[in-house]
Amino acid sequence: MNQPLIEARQLRVSIGDKAIIDRLNLGVASGERLAILGRNGAGKSTLLSTLAGLRKPASGAVLLEGEDAALLHPRQAALRRAWLGQFQNDPFGSTVLETALTGRHPHLGRWDWESTRDAELARGALRAVGLAGMEERQIHTLSGGERQRLAIATLLTQAAPLYLLDEPLSHLDLNHQMAVLELFAGTARDCGAGVIMVLHDPALAHRFCDRALLVYGDGQTRLGPVDDILTAATLSELYGYGLRQIEDRGHRCFIPE
């Protein structure tokens, strides 16, 4: 039963000739939350899209629920993991509800149209990210933060057991950052979803994740429980800038020297 939702085995990820990840072994099980941290350009997004099966690994394998992601049909993969990209751009118009409904694609047959049940799921997802009442708005009238929350709602509509989130907090103001993190923490706790997210704030990673993966950009990585790995020493080394650590009511906070 306790098969991990996703597993990386001896994973090597390269951009051009440069290996940014080498011999990575990683498993994320149901209910687990993992943060990926690293400097700009270290390869966090590239790693995440490789884990999502959107990019071929240089060597090694990614397994989704025990099956090689490279051999799964994209539709099968889409039922096992949902991926949030960093950029949303929309050359054509569409309404908010239509956009959220695209998440139902892997669940529908070739000739099916979205049913009222699909629409209910989409409306529920929009409510969960605070976009209720905006169903008929055109997407290019949304603000950056609203567009990002719509992308998250689309992800929820997809209803996969594993969420791969590339900077889910970009464009979001503080209250929505907390709301989104709490939303995924709740999904992990109550529905047993697995969550892997690329984050830039080690304090939020410490607060909302069980484990963290530090990506150094030269092939090296470090993986461990957040309490052990998110410390002033390791993070100062990771970002190449001195950080001081402050504890407050169980939350960790990092201040640049």
Partner 1 sequence: MPTRHRAILILSALCLLAVGSFMLALMVGSFKVAPADVLATLFGQEGSGGEVVIELRLPRAIAGFACGGLLALAGALMQVLLRNPLADPYVLGISGGAGVGAMFAILIGLPVLGIDGLAFLGALGAMFIVFGLAHGDGSWTQTRLLLTGVIVAAGCGALVALMLAIAEEHKLRGMLFWLMGDLGQSTQWWPPLAALVVALTLAMPFARELNLLSRGMMQAQALGVAVGRLRYAIYLLASLATAASVTTAGSIGFVGLVVPHLVRLATGNDQRLLLPASVLAGGSLLVLADTLARTLIAPQQLPVGVLTALIGVPVFLFLLSRQPK
Q: Nearest Cα to 235, choosing from 215, 219, 211, 208? A: 215
| CA atoms within 13 Å, Cβ hemisphere of 113 | 2
Determine if 19 is a binding residue for partner 1 (CB under 8 A). no
Min separation Cβ 238 and partner 1, Å: 27
Contact characters 136-175, partner 1, x per CB under 8 A: --x-xx----------------x-----------------
117 binds partner 1 (CB under 8 A): no
Q: Which stretch binds partner 1 (CB under 8 A): 13-21, 133-141, 177-185, 210-218?
A: 133-141
Beta-carbon neighbour count of residue 195 at 10 Å?
Answer: 24
Strands (E), 39-161: 59-64, 67-68, 82-84
Question: Of 3-11, 70-78, 185-193, 237-245, which part binds partner 1 (CB under 8 A)?
Answer: 70-78
At closest approach, how far in Å is the CB of 82 from partner 1?
Answer: 7
Q: CA-CA distance, 146 to 97, in Å (whole number)?
A: 13
| Distance from C-alpha of 91 to C-alpha of 159, rounded to nearest angstrom | 26
d(CA 145, CA 119): 23
With H, G, I as helix, E, B as strand and everything else as coil, classify residue 87.
coil
Does position 83 interact with partner 1 (CB under 8 A)? The reply is yes
Which position among 82, 131, 172, 181 is part of the footprint of partner 1 (CB under 8 A)?
82
Name the residues that contact partner 1, by CB under 8 A.
49, 52, 54, 73-79, 82-83, 85, 87-95, 97-99, 101-103, 105-106, 108, 110-111, 113-114, 119, 138, 140-141, 158
